[in-house]
């Protein structure tokens, strides 16, 4: 079973290689996808879980990411679709941006404030080798940008306007709850 690599792993700081189109449905690529799903499904640090993972996060320098909502609550109103993106390219970003909070499986103890476009359009191949294009807003647009950054060797902390430790987040939430 593949595990998340540490933050200083070379795969997290290099431009990932494209997957040859004739290899997308190969056992090798399907195993990488399965390993990524397992790593994402088993990630839970202090109650934090993930919604997406890029292949470099398990030490595989290939241009692959997947989105998978690990929150199984039926009432989850922020449900995002499961999708696989192989050789993804962001083909359009909105000019409108906003500052959003981000965390990362590879930077387990920190959060940051990152400027992201509010809308993004992604072109990629799915796990069956079929090309698709998908527009997104909100959280999914943020995920597209975050994961493509991973494939380009950039972590959110490289772009963040502010970074803080997760323990600070817990402390702030507890204080806010007490003050209400």
Whether the model pTM is above 0.75: yes
Whether residue 114 contacts residue 159, with contact meaning beta carbons closer than 8 Å, is answered with yes
Rounded distance between C-alpha atoms, residue 117 and residue 58, angstroms: 27
- The yes or no reply on domain 10-179 and CATH 3.90.45.10 is yes
The enclosing H or E element of 42 equals: helix 27-42
Q: What is the pLDDT of residues 130-161, one digit of tens each?
A: 999 999 999 999 999 999 999 999 999 999 99
Whether residue 35 contacts residue 56, with contact meaning beta carbons closer than 8 Å, is answered with no
Q: Which residue has the tokens 């997406």?
A: 52
Active-site positions read: 147
Least confident of 31-40, 41-50, 77-86, 115-124: 41-50
């Amino acid at each position: 079973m593949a595990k998340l690599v540490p933050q200083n792993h070379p795969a997290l700081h290099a431009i990932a290689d494209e997957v040859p189109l004739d290899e997308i449905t190969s056992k090798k690529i399907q195993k990488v996808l399965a390993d990524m799903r397992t790593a994402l499904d088993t990630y839970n640090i202090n109650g934090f879980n993930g919604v997406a993972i890029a292949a470099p996060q398990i030490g595989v320098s290939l241009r692959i990411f997947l989105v998978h909502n690990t929150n199984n609550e039926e009432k989850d109103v922020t449900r995002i679709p499961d999708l696989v993106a192989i050789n993804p390219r962001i083909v359009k970003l909105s000019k409108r941006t906003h500052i959003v909070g981000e965390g990362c499986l590879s930077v387990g103890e920190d959060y940051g404030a990152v400027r992201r476009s509010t809308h993004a359009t992604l072109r990629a191949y799915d796990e069956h080798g079929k090309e698709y294009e998908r527009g997104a807003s909100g959280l999914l647009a943020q995920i597209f940008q975050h994961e493509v950054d991973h494939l380009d060797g950039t972590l959110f902390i490289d772009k963040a306007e502010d970074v803080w430790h997760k323990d600070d987040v817990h402390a702030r939430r507890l204080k806010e709850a007490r003050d209400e």
